Structure 1
Amino acid sequence: MSPARNILLVRKQGTRFFMQPGGKRERGETAEQTLEREIQEELSLKITVDAQNYIGRFQAPAANEPHHVIEAELFQLFIQSEHVSPAAEIEQIVWIDPLKIPADLPLAPFTKETVIPLACTLLS
């Protein structure tokens, strides 16, 4: 989340849907370590433990893998600048107001059904 209360979504190369940044946990990693590594890899941002707020564990249909379900541990991060650059497999970054989602923005199921409603609750 930015100081302007926008949330950051990414679109991976060769995909259609926007989602929150992140990825799979590597062997021996904690959820927090995975978060730090994925944010560094995908956005070239170094985050600290005190910037993380654990929200919970969720399941949803996978956006880019038909008939698969993802298990996600969701964190709220506070990022001081909206000047973020895509890295690794990220093709596009957008900052959106979760209360005013563009109708033509294709969202991953987890983002649409869980992340956006939670962001709206956190902002109210």
Structure 2
Amino acid sequence: MKIIDKLAWLEIKDNRILVARSKGKEAFYIPGGKRETNETDAQALIREIDEELSVKLKENTLAYYGTFSAQAHGHKEGITVQMTCYTGQYEGELKSAAEIEEMAWLKYEEMDRTSHVDKIIFKDLRSKNLL
């Protein structure tokens, strides 16, 4: 079984979560990405969010939220994505950059617009009255 190891940033406002959609893709994803060689979770997440959404996460505010796994969206059966999620404050103005075509703030009821692992995260956030 192959595992795709990813990091994600959970940004929630007014019971909605920030998601992004890459160019040419249908599904929205909770923003984040993969580590580069020798990067810590914080370094990778800060870099990815800066590249995708043009804001700087404040490293000293990053807090581990949880790790979730599911079938990788758009991959053949048996390929799993493992998403390690963090919350944290940012500075700057959110705007799409790099491969990101669109950002959105989704309600719990809109989770069908996201990937498999994101649906699990949406349900967990809902169970804690965050969405």
TM exceeding 0.5: yes
Q: Any conservation in 2 of the 1:15–1:64 contact (CA below 8 Å)?
A: no
Q: Where has structure 1 moved over 6 Å in runs of 4 or more?
A: none
Q: What TM-score, normalized by structure 2, do the two folds share?
A: 0.78
Corresponding residue number in structure 2 for 1:102: 110
Corresponding residue to 1:24 among 31, 34, 56? 34
- The letter for the 1-side match of 2:83 is A
Looking at secondary structure, tell me which structure has more strand per residue. 2
For 2:110, the aligned partner's letter is P
Structure-to-structure mapping, 1:1-124, within 5 angstroms: 1-67=11-77, 68-78=79-89, 84-98=94-108, 101-102=109-110, 105-113=112-120, 115-120=121-126, 121-123=128-130
- Percent of pairs identical after alignment? 30
> Does structure 2 retain, via aligned residues, the 8 Å contact 1:22–1:39?
yes
Q: CA deviation at 1:19?
A: 1.2
| Count of residue pairs brought into register by the alignment | 119
Deviation of the 1:6 alpha carbon = 2.2
Q: What value does the CA root-mean-square deviation take over the aligned residues?
A: 2.3
Q: Distance in 2 between matches of 1:5 and 1:77?
A: 16
Deviation at 1:84, TM superposition (A): 2.0
Secondary structure of 1:123's partner? Answer: coil
Q: How high is the TM-score relative to the length of structure 1?
A: 0.81
CA distance in 2, matches of 1:122, 1:51: 21
SS in 1 for 2:21: strand
Question: Distance between the aligned counterparts of 2:66 and 2:58, measured in 1?
Answer: 18
Structure 1: unaligned runs, 5 residues or longer? none
Give unpaired runs (5+ residues) of structure 2. Answer: 1-10
Does the CA-based 8 Å contact 2:72-2:81 persist in structure 1?
A: yes
